[in-house]
Amino acid sequence: MAIYLAVGVYSASIAYSVSNDKLTLNIPIEDVWDGLSQGHRYPIINSGDTIALRLAFTSGGYSTQWLHCHKSHCDRHTCQSRTILTSTEWSSCSSLTFTITAKGKTDREPINSGDTVSLSSNQYGSSYRLYCNASSNAHCRIESVTSSMAGHDWLTYSYVTFEIYSKNADDGTPVQYGDVVGLKYPYSSNSAWLTHYSNRFYPRSCSSGSKTSCAAENTHTGFKIFKKLS
């Protein structure tokens, strides 16, 4: 027997149990927050969090594709055809996960839209970071740089830095679970964004001064950002 619960825009078949006149619902917390993310955006993405980035397509095959990076290139990859990752998938699909670090912030400080960030690969280790060079024809990839970004490292290793912008947050306010984000790269006339093209990712032009068309659904520069919750 199944019952149905609507919380905001969330609706799913839910397992439940009754004991001592109390009803217990077994709902993956990731499903709840994903369903609420447009109207009640929480939890906050913090510096030091484990995150994953899914292409922000609302339907079709791309809607279950995640950013997946190797030492030679970054491509798109599925995780059991999931649109979110629950506690089980964070382990079984760890090759899709990164640790996000924000410039000038310590672990557990909120990351705001407009902050400069770096993504280290949880598959290869903390010194391996998402890297794009100045050429729009060169694959973005994982490059061994430094295990800890601090001080002048943000200038020395600028090829592994990005400005993160959220469609759902005003710039200067926190990026949150389920937000649509874009990653802007500091080269190519300051208008290059992490861009999906033909199952590879490149730093390609989108906009130098507006996130509206770049951090957006159904574009090759938009991603849904999720964090590990447990």
Structure tokens at 102: 């924000």
The pLDDT of residue 37 is above 80: no
The secondary structure of residue 115, as a DSSP letter, is: -
Instruction: Tally helices (H) and strands (E) across the chain.
Output: 3, 15
What does the buried/exposed string (b/e) look like for 63-100 if buried means 16 or more CB atoms within 10 Å of the residue's CB?
bbbbbbbeeebbbbeebeeebbbeeebbeebbebbbbb
Level-2 CATH architecture, domain 46-227: Trefoil (2.80)
Report domain extents, the chain. 1-36, 46-227
Structure tokens at 106: 């310590």
Per-residue pLDDT tens for 156-182?
999 999 999 999 999 999 999 999 999
Q: Give the strand pairing for 65-69 and 200-205.
A: unpaired
Q: What is the per-residue pLDDT for 22?
A: 59
What pTM does this model have? Answer: 0.83
Could you count the other beta carbons within 10 Å of the beta carbon of residue 216?
Answer: 16
Instruction: Read off the pLDDT band of 6 (50, 70, 90).
Output: very low
Q: What is the per-residue pLDDT for 162?
A: 96
